[in-house]
Structure 1
C-alpha cells in the first residue's frame, strides 16, 4: 500500500506539472484529495479504512469519464436544425450569406485545431455554416 500512496502522490505532482490541475473542478480536486487520504491511511497500516476512500474516488472518476465521453460525442455531432446552427455561430435570424461567412471566419479562427481547438468542434462549426448558407441560398431563390 505504500507503493500506492507514492503512485497517487506522483499522479498529483504530474497533474500540477502539466497544468491539468488547473482544469480540474472542485469536485475532481476533492475526490483526488480523498484518494490521497485513503492512500496515506493504507500506507500507515490501515488498509481496510484506506481502501474505502480510494474505491470511492475511483468510482467517481469512472462516472466522470463516462459523462465526459457522452459530452465529447455530442460536440462532434453536426447541428440538427437552422436554429441550432444560428445559435452556434451567434447569428440573428435575418443574417445574410456575408454575415454567415464573417461569423464563421471569426469563430473558426479561435477554435481551429491548428490553434489548439478540436477537430470535432471545427467540423460542427463548418457544418453549421454550410447549413445556414444553404438555407440563405434557398431563401434568396424564393425571394427572386
Structure 2
C-alpha cells in the first residue's frame, strides 16, 4: 500500500479513537469511502481515475468544516450577567432549594449537556455560572 493510503487510514483511526467521528453522517461516510478509493487509485498509478474522487472529497471536507463552524457559532450563548431568577429557571430549582439540591440539579443538567456528549461549551459555562450564582446567593461556595 502507498504511504498516502496508510496515512489516511491512520488519520481515520486517530479520529475514531479520540471521538471526533461521533457526529459522522451518512454523507460523511460516503465521502470518506470515495476519498479512500481515490487515494487507492492514485497509489496504484492511475492518476486520471484517482484525482477526481480525492479532489471531490477534499472539497466536501472543506465545505463541511465551514458549515460546521457556522452552526457552532450560531448555537453559542452570549455571555452576560445572570440574576438569581434566571439561574433558578436554568437549573430547574425553586427558591427554597438548598445547596445540595442546587448541586444535584447542576450535576443532572451538566451530564446531559456536557460538550463531550454533544452539548456546547457555551451552554456548559452558562450552567456552571447558574450554579455559582445560586450557591453564592445561598451563602456557600
Superposition TM-score tier, normalisation by shorter sequence:
0.5 to 0.7
Q: Is the 8 A contact 1:76 1:123 kept in 2?
A: no
Give the Cα separation in 1 of the matches to 2:65 and 2:19: 19
> What is the aligned length?
118
1:121 corresponds to: 123
For structure 2, list consecutive stretches of 5 or more residues without a partner in the other structure: 80-85, 131-141
For structure 1, list consecutive stretches of 5 or more residues without a partner in the other structure: 80-84, 130-144
Name the SS for the 2:45 alignment partner.
Answer: coil
Shift of 1:47: 1.3
2:72 corresponds to: 72
Q: Which residues of 2 match residues 81-92 of structure 1 at below 5 A?
A: none
Q: TM-score, normalised by structure 2?
A: 0.60
Name whichever structure is richer in helix by fraction: 1
- CA 1:13–1:119 in structure 2 vs 1: closer, same or farther (change >3 Å)? closer
Give the Cα separation in 2 of the matches to 1:5 and 1:50: 12
1:111 corresponds to: 113
Q: Is the 8 A contact 1:113 1:122 kept in 2?
A: yes
1:5 corresponds to: 5
- CA 1:66–1:97 in structure 2 vs 1: closer, same or farther (change >3 Å)? farther
- CA 1:112–1:42 in structure 2 vs 1: closer, same or farther (change >3 Å)? closer
Give the Cα separation in 2 of the matches to 1:36 and 1:18: 20
Give the Cα separation in 1 of the matches to 2:115 and 2:68: 19
- CA 1:76–1:11 in structure 2 vs 1: closer, same or farther (change >3 Å)? same
Give the Cα separation in 2 of the matches to 1:107 and 1:15: 28
Name the SS for the 2:78 alignment partner.
Answer: coil
